[in-house]
Structure 1
């Protein structure tokens, strides 16, 4: 049996933490090792707990979301952060992804989406709620923003390119064939009007699609 994925919960509402714990602990591979009502306590404890994933609420009293993410990752660099929030403002999404969050899930998501997001983020693979994906697509389509229009799947491939993954590794992460991934890469480069993956990765970082 493979090792369980240790998870911490950070949310100022106890009922939310209880609900998250109930959903996640129904899964045999997920283990909620602690929960916290504020980021300060989570940051102080995270190195001792050594979790793989933090499910983090953004808007908590007297708390800055970007600093919370940076603080958690500084205290325990192996941590992957799944933002779990009711808010999807474009600027907030950009800021938290740039700060180091790996996933962004809205609280209207199904419990199955929460479980899938935790597993994917634990593997270091970005997970974005469909609403957030649409916002990122809109950003890439916006006038004056290089005129690039990528689909949600192409954005997923682009993020993995920017993380340095090969076509074979991307295919494994997204459950696609290597040939399909090659096709997506060609489409991305053509739409961006560039010739190589390095340029694509630099643009993805500049647009805030992946952490630098």
Structure 2
């Protein structure tokens, strides 16, 4: 026979959630999502990254729902600070933005999940439970963004060293190897080594091609 009054999860079994978003309407909507779940407790609302840090210190949530774009400290900076100061607190990014760079930055800052604000109540509560258990959840759009980042060819010259960029700058100015050596006060053989390395990293066979790529991709100031 079914118990007409099933036991509610004890407080120690409930997941403590902090909402961080600078829009009151969004916080209100999220609050209704959470209140409908028997195993989730809303322990605080923050309108900025700074408030989120303060509340983390005061109420120690298990999971923080974090907007990205807010006045003052943004969501990425707040996520990084929370994860550094309270490693046990998990953060889920909840935003309208799906640009690959933002997805990558949020995850690198320590977010356990990345969801868009068009998420359903079931998807959101499922992501909160997953984050609490240490499992990541990504919106399909976020997954696609990461795939795009992974499959993009890196910009030519991304792996040049600081010294190689100095040499390339002087190459663009038309200096010879001897003139570069004198300008940088290094040996001619060292300059030749740097030039050879630059050509190799840029995937070109001549100085002229290297200079052309430097202009095209703004590799030098």
Normalised-by-shorter TM-score class: 0.5 to 0.7
Residue number in structure 1 paired with 2:61: 51
Choose which of 74, 89, 114 in structure 2 pairs with 1:104: 114
- 8 Å CA contact retained: 2:18, 2:42: yes
Q: Tell me how far apart the structure 2 counterparts of residues 111 and 87 of structure 1 sit (CA, whole Å).
A: 19
Structure 2 distance, partners of 1:82, 1:113, is 12
Partner SS for 1:72: helix
Aligned counterpart, 1:76: 86
Q: Is the 8 A contact 1:47 1:75 kept in 2?
A: no
Query: How large is the RMSD of aligned CA atoms in angstroms?
Result: 1.7
TM-score for both structures, normalised by structure 1: 0.64
TM-score by length of 2: 0.62
Query: Which of structures 1 and 2 has the larger relative contact order (alpha carbons within 8 angstroms, sep 6+)?
Result: 1
Unaligned runs of 5+ in 1: 146-212
Residues 144, 45 of structure 1: alpha-carbon distance in 2 compared, 3 angstrom cutoff: closer
> Does the residue aligned with 1:77 lie in a helix, a strand or coil?
coil
Residue number in structure 2 paired with 1:37: 47
Which structure 2 segments of 5+ residues have no match? 1-8, 156-221
Aligned positions, number: 145
Per-residue Cα deviation, 1:118-159 (whole angstroms, up to 9, x for no partner): 1111111111001111122233333469xxxxxxxxxxxxxx
The higher radius of gyration belongs to 2
Helix, strand or coil for the counterpart of 2:103? helix
